[in-house]
Amino acid sequence: MKKSRENQRGLRGPIRLALMAMLILATVWLQACGANGNSNSNSKEKNAGASTGTETAAAADTNSKVPSVLNYGYIGSNDKNLPGGAEGWGFYKGIIQEELKKYGIEEVKLTGFPNGPDQTESLISGRLDFGGLGDTPAIIAHGSGAKTRLINQTNITNVAYLISGPDGPKTIEELKGKTIAIQKGSYMHRYVVGLLKQAGVTDYKLVHMLIPDAQAALARGDIDALTNTGYTAQKLLAQGYTLIDDSTRHSELHGTGVTVVSESYLEKFPDFPKVWNEARQKALEDLKQHEEEYYQFIADLNKTTVDLAKKVSPISDITVEPFTTDGITRITGTKDFLVEEGLAKKDYKIEDWEVK
C-alpha cells in the first residue's frame, strides 16, 4: 500500500504538467481564431484609418512648406495700419487671418506705402510677398522685368483729380506752359499725361512729388497744379481749391486697383492666389452685411465723415470677381498707353500676366 501511494504521488507531477500544456495550447488557438476574425471584420476600418492618416499627413506636409509669416503691402497710411476695401475689412474683422491659418499662415504683417512705385521696390527686393496697389506702377514694374503675377483687380474705378490753387488755371488748356506735380509711375501720372494728350497740350512740365509735398508746393505757388486722390482731393476742394478735371469724366483714363504676388512666394505656396481670392470673397460678403459699420471703418481710417466715405469709397466700386471683361479692357488700355509713352519697357498680354 505504501508503494502504491508513492507511485500515485509520483504520477501527479507529469499529469499536471501535461494538463497545463494542453490548456496553454487551447488558449493560443482560440486567440489566433479571434484575431483572424477581427482582422476580416475590421479591415475596412483599418484601411479607412490609414487613408485618413495619409490625407492628414499630406495636408500637414503642404502647410509645412508655407511660410508662417505673410508680408502684405498696401497704399496709404493711417493709425490702424490697414487698407480699405474688402481686404482692409477682412483684416479688421479677422476674417482673412482665420482663413489663412488653415494653410499654416500664423501672422500677416501689413505695411503701408505712400505710392505704388515704392511698394513695387519692396516687392522686387523680397521684403514683401504680395500687395495691393494701382495698376500703373504694377504694369511698369512687370514690364521692367519684375517677377510678379496678377492675382486680381480690387476695383476698376480708381479716380484721379487734377487740381490747381484757388486762383490757378481752371481749364486743361490753361495748363500750357505750367508745372504740374505728379507721383511718377502712379495711375495719377498716367491719367494726367493721357488727359493733356487728348487736349492737345504738349508744352508743360511734370515734377515728381508725394502728395503732402505737392500740396505744400501748391499753397506756396511753386507749382501750378497737382494730381491727387479721393480724400485728400476732397479736402483741398473744400478749402476753395479749383477742380480742373477728374477721371470720372474720362472712363478710359480710370485707374484700376490690382493685387500682385511675387513669383518666389508662389513657388512656396502655389495655391495662394485661389486661397487669397476666396478669403477676400468671404470678407466682402461680410462687409455687405454690415454696410454702415464698414463706412464708419473707412471714415475712421481716413479721418473723415461717413457721408464722404460713402461718396469717395462706395461699396459698389469693390469688385466681386477677380477679373471682369471691363476690368481687363481698362487695364489693357493702361498698359498699351504706358508702352506707347515708353513708361513700360516692354509689351505683353495682361492675360499672360494673370494667374489662371
Chain segment 106-159, per-residue pLDDT in tens: 999 999 999 999 999 999 999 999 999 999 999 999 999 999 999 999 999 999
Give the mean model confidence (pLDDT) for residues 16-33: 41
Q: What pLDDT sits at residue 64?
A: 63
Does the pLDDT value for residue 46 go beyond 90? no
DSSP one-letter code for 174: G
Q: 186 near 117, Cβ under 8 Å?
A: yes
The predicted pLDDT at position 13 comes to 47
Interval 296-301 mean pLDDT: 97
Give the domains, in start order, of the chain with CATH numbers.
Answer: 66-157+255-353 (3.40.190.10), 161-253 (3.40.190.10)
- What gap in Å lies between CA 241 and CA 343, rounded to an integer? 30
Residue 241, φ and ψ in degrees, nearest 5: -70, 165
Cα distance between the two ends of the chain:
104
Quote the pLDDT of residue 308: 96
- Residue 341 pLDDT more than 70? yes
Between vectors from CA 138 to CA 132 and to CA 144, what angle results, nearest 5°?
150
pLDDT-wise least confident of 54-58, 66-70, 131-135: 54-58
Give the cell for residue 250. Answer: 474720362
CA distance 26 to 28: 5
Helix then strand then coil, in percent of the chain rounded to 5, is 55, 15, 25
What is the pLDDT, as a whole number, of residue 23? 42
Largest CA distance in the chain: 145
CB contact at 8 A, 136 and 339: no
- pLDDT band of residue 62 (cuts 50, 70, 90) is low
**In the chain, % of residues over pLDDT 70:** 82
Question: Contact at 8 Å (CB) between 155 and 318?
Answer: yes
Whole-angstrom Cα distance, residue 341 to residue 349?
17
Identity of the amino acid at 79: D
Q: Where are the strands (E) in 102-204, listed by range?
A: 107-113, 130-134, 148-158, 161-164, 179-182
Asked if residue 246 lies in contact with residue 161, where contact means CB atoms within 8 angstroms, the answer is: yes
| Mean pLDDT of the chain, nearest integer | 86
3: confidence class by pLDDT, cuts 50, 70, 90: very low
| Whole-number pLDDT of residue 27 | 43
What's the whole-number mean pLDDT along residues 249-274?
Answer: 95
pTM for the predicted model, two decimal places = 0.80
Using pLDDT thresholds of 50, 70 and 90, give the confidence band for residue 313: very high
What length does the chain have?
356
Q: How many C-alpha atoms does 110 have within 13 Å on its Cβ side?
A: 20
Q: pLDDT grade, residue 356 (50/70/90)? A: confident
pLDDT above 50 for 194: yes
Residue 135 near residue 327 (C-beta atoms within 8 A): no
Give the residue among 302, 281, 275 at the shortest CA–CA distance from 86. Answer: 281
